[in-house]
Amino acid sequence: MKYLSTRGHSGRLGFSDILLEGLAPDGGLYMPETYPQMDDAALTRLRGVLATQGYAALAFEILSLYIDDIPAADLKRLCEKTYTQEVYGTKEITPVTPLGSTGLHLEALSNGPTLAFKDMAMQLLGNLFEYELARRGETLNIFGATSGDTGSAAEYAMRGKKGVKVFMLSPHGRMSPFQQAQMFSLMDENIFNIAVEGVFDDCQDMVKAVSNDLVFKKKYKIGTVNSINWARLLAQVVYYFAGYLYATKSNSEKVSFTVPSGNFGNVCAGHVARMMGLPIDKLIVATNENDVLDEFFRTGVYRVRGSADTHETSSPSMDISKASNFERFVFDLIGRDGAALKDLFATQISAKGSFDLSGDARFAQAATKYGFASGKSTHANRLQTIKEVFEQHGVMIDTHTADGVKVAREHVKSGVPMIVLETALPIKFAATIVEALGREPSRPAKFEGIEALPKRVLVMKPDVAAVKTLIEKNA
């Protein structure tokens, strides 16, 4: 399997190369040349693998379709090392639970070390990085940005890993106290937290600016753990297959997924699974007040917002107005035309902050051919949804999952299970849970008193030169 850039760069690389590289040299995102296809016989075999051998074996089967430059025995061992009951607390790893007779199901993705769905991919990524760096005798400086959960998931996955340092940007004061404490209380010498005086999009822009400086990137061996890294998105594809197989009894059934989304990485993994032949009816994108993606799927207009127009909400991990992974879907939508894609994202957005596909006949295929729909949730919706789900089903959900449930209810179809991807445990957003329910969510014992721990973090302006200097001094 070889990988190409969404923006037309002519080079073709293997998985191990793009694992360490992040963005392509032309600023595009890597995509597989083709999507491996899963027919009925293949799905039946995967159903048996999951039932008899478990999630790690399923992960190996899916990943091996895209990874042919790591020996199969090694890849299998890395999957088995990553997806264990000891780490995730359940044999199923991502169990699917119905919400009564509503047609809605929750797929639990937040049982990992940092209580967020990002652990599902990041734990594997940490093991892949360590393996590949040891194989090459190299080191890597990971430079990333987080709106809340990516940072802690990356840092917990990389702490103590040989040959790896992590430089993580986050928007100063815009994450929940629990999220901040998870990251900033880490004292490992290979972890560097930088709080940027701005919003997540400012952090993301800094990561892209550094990644696009090819001389700097090569000299300081810069890699990324954001979902612009294909390896991370690929790991997320696995839980769509698991969710489908857990929720159905035969391959003749279809399911839909609703995915709380800001950066489009999580739902893009669903798009990949659907392109592989997984029987997905609809992929529903649920946004909060920062509704750039909802606006596109309703109107065909993709309009990024500046920092001043990016709302600070009670589902802060989705406070994003430039969805990095959206480029991957648009690449497929417009027929994998790299030059046209580059015009949309590098030219039109730079010139006017938006592009408009409403008059393009291919825009209709977003819904018809690719199964996308969308919806929006507000703070009031979150409070109401959290309250109703708890009162009616005895289940406490976090704010982002509440956005998903609210939007999922608007798209439920009789006879088609609707799986909402649970994104984090409620304790990460305790203030809003208290507002909705009048009670504190429970927290795992290992996180008791985390907010009071000493913190190690540097606050800085959104200054690319300054962050480069920091990397230079500590790489």
- The residues annotated with a catalytic role in the active site are 118
Q: Is 298 exposed, middle or buried (0-12, 13-18, 19+ CB in 10 A)?
A: middle
What are the CB-based long-range contacts (under 8 Å, 24+) for 362-371? 362/333, 362/334, 362/335, 363/300, 363/333, 365/333, 366/297, 366/333, 367/297, 370/271, 370/274, 370/283, 370/329, 370/332, 370/333, 371/274, 371/280, 371/281, 371/282, 371/283
Residue from 243, 303, 302, 300 nearest 267 by CA: 243
Distance, CA of 172 to CA of 145 (rounded, Å): 12
CB 423 within 8 A of CB 404: yes
How many C-beta atoms lie closer than 10 Å to residue 341's C-beta?
A: 24
CA distance 116 to 47: 26
What burial class does residue 361 get, using C-beta atoms within 10 Å of its C-beta: 0-12 exposed, 13-18 middle, 19+ buried? exposed
Burial of 333 from C-beta contacts in 10 A (0-12 / 13-18 / 19+): buried
> Cβ contacts of residue 112 below 8 Å, gap of 6+?
87, 88, 119, 120, 123, 153
How far CA 45 is from CA of 96, 114, 237, 244, 245, in Å, comes to: 20, 32, 17, 14, 11
3-class DSSP state for residue 143?
Answer: strand
3-class secondary-structure state, position 91: coil
Please name which of 406, 393, 149, 426 lies closest in space to residue 284, comparing C-alpha atoms: 406
- Dihedral sign, CA of 186, 192, 194, 199? negative
